[in-house]
Copies of this chain bind each other. A is one copy, B any other.
Amino acid sequence: MRPILTPAFATTLILAGGAQADDAALRSMAKEYFEPIPLQAPMLENNVISRDRVDLGAKLFFDPRMSRSGLFSCQSCHNVGIGGVDGLETSVGHGWQAGPRNAPTMLNAVFNIAQFWDGRAPDLAAQAKGPVQAGVEMNNTPDNVVATLKSMPGYVEGFDAAFPGESDPISFDNFALAIEAFEATLITPNSRFDQFLMGQDGAISDQEKNGLQLFVDTGCAACHAGINVGGQDYYPFGVVEKPGAAVLPEGDKGRFAVSETADDEYVFRAAPLRNIALTAPYFHSGKVWDLKEAVAIMANSQLGAELEDAQIDDIVAFLGTLTGEQPEVVHPTLPARTINTPKPAPM
């Protein structure tokens, strides 16, 4: 865990009508913290983003037969139409069980330092193996996933094409790699903020520019920086003042469960703020539905700052500029089951 940084640019408000010189200064400052989402999926270290692999991953992502019940797919909790989330406090999974944490978005997740609120998966492939096996989520087993895939000629062909030359392409590892390849394409470029970063002065309003300045001056950008405006490192929730148990449930000690280090109690990955206006409710507990309230809680608990209402409004306006172009995904036609396909077992 990195220490909390002091804001590097404790500048005063410089906006007075959005004059060109001010825009240039604001942009220059912002570029010290942030960078735009690229137009295309990035290269990955241990995976290949081929069209065949992405197409296969899309099928797997949308296929509810990857769950034991036949009800849940990745898409159930990471909805491509709702900013990559499910809009629930915490997800509901197998047997109508409530999951422990709010579902994070998979949009732009490829740019996070690691996956899950506690960063326990180093990449999207490792992440993809989690929910499919979790008893409160998809409640499946790798063996049953592989048997399901091998039972359908459409998947046999899909894995052959996506993993050419492999002798036994249908494996749980390759299942995860294909999903990672698809998810790496789920990025949201050209937000109005990114357009501003790239030189379009008028892409964001004066109020939004004011919010950007406040976001940096107040210290938010100390943790919420980088390409995803967050998602790059881990910090304790409640640096200055712990929020109440309603927002920060005592039973969930965050990264402590991963590292077993006392310093990591209530430590979480700083939430990536891309598309944050689309992904209520907020925090790992999903207890806060209003982005204004979330900003106020963060300012107070992490920075000891009591923001005025108008300041919060400006920051929320700025956060709205982080909504990018949502991915356009054709719902895949899924391979037909056969009589050898394991039957779903919801009950």
Q: A82 — which chain B residues lie within 8 A by C-beta?
A: 64, 334
Q: A329 — which chain B residues lie within 8 A by C-beta?
A: 330-331
A285 CB-CB contact with B under 8 Å: no
Are A344 and B87 CB-contacts (below 8 A) given A289-B339, A331-B81, A334-B81? yes
A290 CB-CB contact with B under 8 Å: yes
A227 CB-CB contact with B under 8 Å: no
Interface size on A, residues (CB 8 A): 41
The minimal Cβ–Cβ distance linking A145 to chain B, given in whole angstroms, is 15
Considering only CB atoms, which chain B residue lies closest to A290 in the complex? B339
| A307–B62 CA distance with the chains assembled, in angstroms | 38
Q: A69 — which chain B residues lie within 8 A by C-beta?
A: 92
Are A332 and B86 CB-contacts (below 8 A) given A96-B346, A289-B339? no
A130 CB-CB contact with B under 8 Å: no
Q: What is the total number of copies of this protein in its complex? A: 2
A95 CB-CB contact with B under 8 Å: yes
Q: A347 — which chain B residues lie within 8 A by C-beta?
A: 98
A246 CB-CB contact with B under 8 Å: no
Are A343 and B289 CB-contacts (below 8 A) given A87-B64, A333-B326, A337-B87? yes
Q: Once the chains bind, are A87 and B70 in contact (CB under 8 Å)? A: yes
Contact of A96 among B63, B81, B96, B344 (CB under 8 A): B96
Q: Once the chains bind, are B81 and A62 in contact (CB under 8 Å)? A: yes
Q: Once the chains bind, are A331 and B64 in contact (CB under 8 Å)? A: no
| A80–B330 CA distance with the chains assembled, in angstroms | 11
A260 CB-CB contact with B under 8 Å: no
Contact of A64 among B65, B86, B278, B336 (CB under 8 A): B86
Q: A98 — which chain B residues lie within 8 A by C-beta?
A: 346-347
Q: A80 — which chain B residues lie within 8 A by C-beta?
A: 331
Given A64-B86, A289-B343, A330-B330, 15 other A-B contacts at CB below 8 A? A69-B92, A70-B88, A71-B92, A80-B331, A81-B332, A81-B333, A81-B334, A82-B334, A87-B344, A92-B346, A95-B96, A98-B346, A277-B336, A278-B336, A328-B330
Q: List 20 A-B contacts (CB under 8 A).
A: A59-B81, A64-B86, A65-B87, A69-B92, A70-B88, A71-B76, A71-B92, A81-B331, A81-B332, A81-B334, A82-B334, A95-B96, A96-B96, A98-B346, A277-B336, A289-B343, A326-B333, A328-B330, A330-B330, A330-B331
